[in-house]
Every structure is written in C-alpha cells, then in structure tokens.
Amino acid sequence: MRTNSTLNRIYDIPGEIVDSIRLEADDVVISPQITSFAPQAGRPGSLVLIHGMHFSTLPGENTVRFQGETAEVLSVSDTLLQVRVPSTARTGRLEVETRHGAGGSDRPFEVYLPPQLQSVTP
C-alpha cells in the first residue's frame, strides 16, 4: 500500500564548512518576501510600490492582497511590484503570493476610507 507521507531524513553535518560553497537561506528560499512598500497609507484606487525579493516577472503570476482583498497588479520585476489599492481594501497586512509561496508585510497598510454620513438633522 502506498501513501503520500513524507519521510524525514537526518544527514550528518559535515566536519568542515567551506565558505566558498556555503549557502545562505536567501540562496535557497524562493518564496516572495516584502521588504518595504510606499506609500504607507492611501485611498482605494491609489498606487502602491511593493519592494522585495523573488516576485514573478509575469504579472499574472503575482497575487497581491490588502488584508485579503485582491489588488490589480500593474507592473512587475523580480524586486518591485506596482499595484492599485482595491476598492474593497481594509487596513491590514499586504501579502504577495506566487507559485513558489507567499510572503507578507511586517507592518499594515492603512486604508483611508471616505467619511460616511451617520444621520441628518434639520
């Protein structure tokens, strides 16, 4: 009987680590990472630049969310995304998802909402 369970294997740590062939986490991990974004706040419909690493260079392969609400991706590079704040956005974290994984912002993006009329008194 075959199952889809994963086997964990423990390997011996090499006796000597050679710096010339040493790998850092950024060399191996290819999930997108958000390092910063600007501006820090804005209205729905405004443009936001998201700086980071490991974004897809194909616009359709990047999904950007503002607290769960999907944003329109306007332009891309592997380190920069330009997006439009969705009309349904709420204040909260930004998230970028590619086929290699997802990454979120450390700080929230603050969404400025228009004032709402509560009541009218003559």
The end-to-end CA distance of the chain, in Å, is: 78
For residue 26, name the pLDDT band (cuts at 50, 70, 90). low
pLDDT score, position 44: 95
pTM for the full model? 0.74
- What's the CA gap between 121 and 118, in Å, rounded? 10
**What are φ and ψ of residue 108, in 5° steps?**
-80, 155
- The top-level CATH class assigned to 30-111 is mainly beta
Q: Are 44 and 85 in contact (CB under 8 A)?
A: yes
